[in-house]
């Protein structure tokens, strides 16, 4: 992304159902990561006046959206998913140019179906309604339910998932709108063209289904100070952010100071602990699996393993040698931006400065595009513990730190020193072996350090199922009680729990009246979950 004083006609923004020019003094262009060259298209950096207008329109739309039936809202999601597939070739081509992610294996085959699948899941959950947790106590005539926030949700999309986490179509978008809140999409400047295509499809689907015009709005970019003002705006319902720890914490400080809700998915090393029998029994297999997970998309997954801990014994040293051979292979892909490459370079220098031994890589790739060598470090457990805080800085690339612990007790101390993570994996040997005793000591420590605990599996992949948790203790996320992946649990971030005490039946929302409004909704009536009408 490069800022300019403005050249050419910048793309219009979407405000209250209409595409119009932004009130902007600056523009930017996206870049092809594989060449470093600018891509066609100029996009505006909106003024705060644009953001304020979007909030006002979204605030009005929130009231109108509350009156829309669940059937109509569900129809929107299904129609949107079909519209995305209809323009799938255009979306894949655009995202490939803007991110250099593989067009077929990643974008078309993996991420596009995941995105449309999320939308269809949202439609089914909206139709069912059980996620709203309607609770009825007939003895006291007290009823409660989860309802929309009453204002738009601002969604900040990340750079690494141009489809599945896109501000105009991804998981946070689907969760916020399914919960009944309009969305103000704040696109990522690395893929503005992709985000615009999604917004175009969404606008057409709004019109066809009759949803409020401002249910989906789009701003491509804001100045940092205006982004801080937006998340603190009294008219918004909440903010969802996926990105770096530094940016997330800055936004959180602004939102918190104004009492506005903000949900963050920020930073994670996703450590993997390898117990001795596992290394002895299948070390070569795990080494290949570890490198594959670490290098996927050039290491630009928020669930990438960035730290692996194991015992420093003969089997452990053989494992390290196997991992070195994998990391000496050519870089697996392109980093998304020049800034991203500089951030990886800084993270690598930080690890080196703190005394880790460089085993492979460590340098920029001096070829066109944004690339960095696969980089592997080793450090002793005792030395890691002396600088544990500083060494837990996410490197968004194919960078891995091996922590070789001198004993089982040191391995446990390494676990105790960890910050919060999205995922932590433990590999152990055959059932009933020596690893069981270590596992029983290690797992309770790690369970408190992560949202998702894995066994014999790398943390990279995420299944979009209701049981999935993509969140965790700080600094992985801003709140350990919520998930940004998994439908419908991800909806709950964008709701308010509201109570109706002795309210007359005709004044109650339909979900709390005696008849079950859908016939399939689960409600907690006098302590029992039921789909029946209230007696």
- Residues 56, 58, 62, 63, Cα dihedral to 10°: 40
* Cβ 271 vs Cβ 421: under 8 Å: yes
How far is 54 from 49, CA to CA, in rounded Å?
Answer: 9
In total, the chain counts a number of residues equal to 535
- Of 492, 460, 483, 496, nearest in space to 265 by CA: 483
What domains does the chain contain, in order, with CATH numbers? 2-7+15-266+483-489 (3.40.605.10), 275-455 (3.40.309.10)
Q: Is 37 exposed, middle or buried (0-12, 13-18, 19+ CB in 10 A)?
A: exposed
- Tokens matching residue 44: 């505006």
How far apart are alpha carbons 63 and 60 in whole angstroms?
6
Q: What is the pLDDT of residue 438?
A: 97
How high is the pLDDT of residue 47?
96
CA distances from 1 to 5, 31, 96 (A): 13, 6, 16
Whether residue 430 has a cis bond before it, omega within 30° of 0: no
Question: Rounded to two decimals, what is the model's pTM?
Answer: 0.95
Q: Which residues are catalytic?
A: 265, 302
Contact 214, 62 (CB under 8 A): no
Helix residue ranges per DSSP H, 259-337: 276-295, 314-327
* Lookup: tokens for 320: 């390290």
User: Could you list the mean pLDDT of each consecutive 10-residue stretch along the chain, which spans 535 residues?
Assistant: 58 98 94 96 97 98 96 98 98 98 96 98 97 97 98 97 97 98 97 98 98 98 97 98 96 98 96 98 98 96 97 98 96 91 96 97 93 97 97 95 98 98 97 93 98 97 94 95 96 98 97 95 98 95
Q: What is the C-alpha separation between 255 and 223, in angstroms, rounded?
A: 16
Which tokens belong to 276? 């001795």
**Predicted local distance difference test score (pLDDT) of residue 3:** 46
Contact indicator for 105, 111 with CB cutoff of 8 Å: no
Residues 432-447, buried b or exposed e (16+ Cβ, 10 A)? ebebeebbeebbebbe
Closest CA to 348 of 364, 370, 335, 367: 364
């Amino acid at each position: 992304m490069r800022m300019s004083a403005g050249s050419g006609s910048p793309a219009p923004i979407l405000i209250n159902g209409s595409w119009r020019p932004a009130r902007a003094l600056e523009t930017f262009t996206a870049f092809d990561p594989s060449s470093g060259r600018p891509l066609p298209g100029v996009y505006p950096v909106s003024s705060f006046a644009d953001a304020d207008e979007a909030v006002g329109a979204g605030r009005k739309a929130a009231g109108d959206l509350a009156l829309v039936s669940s059937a109509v809202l569900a129809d929107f999601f299904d129609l949107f998913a079909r519209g995305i597939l209809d323009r799938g070739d255009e979306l894949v081509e655009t995202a490939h140019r803007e991110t250099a992610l593989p067009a077929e294996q990643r974008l078309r085959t993996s991420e596009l179906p995941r995105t449309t699948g999320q939308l269809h899941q949202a439609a089914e959950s909206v139709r069912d309604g059980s996620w709203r947790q309607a609770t009825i106590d007939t003895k006291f005539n007290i009823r409660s339910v989860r309802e929309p926030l009453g204002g738009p949700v601002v969604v900040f999309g990340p750079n690494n998932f141009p489809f599945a986490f896109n501000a105009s179509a991804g998981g946070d978008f689907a969760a916020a709108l399914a919960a009944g809140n309009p969305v103000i999409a704040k696109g990522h400047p690395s893929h503005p063209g992709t985000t615009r295509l999604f917004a175009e499809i969404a606008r057409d689907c709004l019109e066809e289904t009759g949803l409020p015009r401002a249910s989906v709005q789009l701003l491509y970019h804001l100045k940092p100070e205006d982004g801080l003002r937006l998340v603190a705006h009294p008219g918004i319902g909440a903010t969802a952010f996926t990105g770096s720890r530094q940016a997330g914490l800055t936004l959180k400080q602004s939102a918190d100071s104004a009492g506005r809700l903000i949900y963050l998915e920020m930073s994670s090393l996703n450590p993997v602990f390898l117990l001795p029998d596992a290394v002895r029994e299948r070390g070569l297999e795990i080494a290949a699996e570890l490198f594959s997970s670490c290098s996927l998309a050039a290491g630009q997954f928020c669930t990438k393993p960035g730290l692996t801990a194991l015992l420093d014994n003969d089997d452990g040293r053989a494992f390290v040698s196997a991992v070195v051979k994998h990391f000496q292979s050519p870089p697996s892909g392109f980093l998304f931006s020049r800034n991203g490459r500089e951030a990886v370079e800084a993270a690598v220098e930080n690890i080196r400065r703190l005394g880790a031994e460089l085993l492979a890589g460590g340098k920029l790739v001096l070829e066109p595009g944004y690339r960095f060598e696969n980089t592997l470090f080793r450090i002793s457990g005792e030395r890691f513990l002396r600088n544990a805080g500083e060494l837990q800085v996410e490197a968004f690339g194919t960078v891995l730190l091996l922590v070789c612990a001198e004993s089982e007790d040191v391995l446990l101390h390494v676990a105790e020193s960890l910050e919060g993570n999205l995922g932590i994996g433990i590999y152990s040997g055959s059932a009933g072996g020596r690893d069981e005793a270590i596992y029983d000591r290690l797992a309770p420590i790690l369970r408190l350090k992560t949202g998702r605990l894995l066994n014999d599996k790398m943390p990279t992949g995420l299944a979009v199922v209701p049981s999935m948790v993509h969140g965790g203790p700080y600094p992985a996320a801003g709140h350990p009680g919520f998930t940004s992946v998994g439908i419908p649990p991800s909806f709950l971030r964008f709701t308010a729990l509201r109570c109706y005490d002795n309210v007359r039946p005709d004044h109650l929302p339909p979900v709390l009246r005696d008849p079950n409004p859908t016939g399939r909704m689960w409600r907690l009536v006098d302590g029992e979950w039921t789909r029946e009408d209230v007696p």
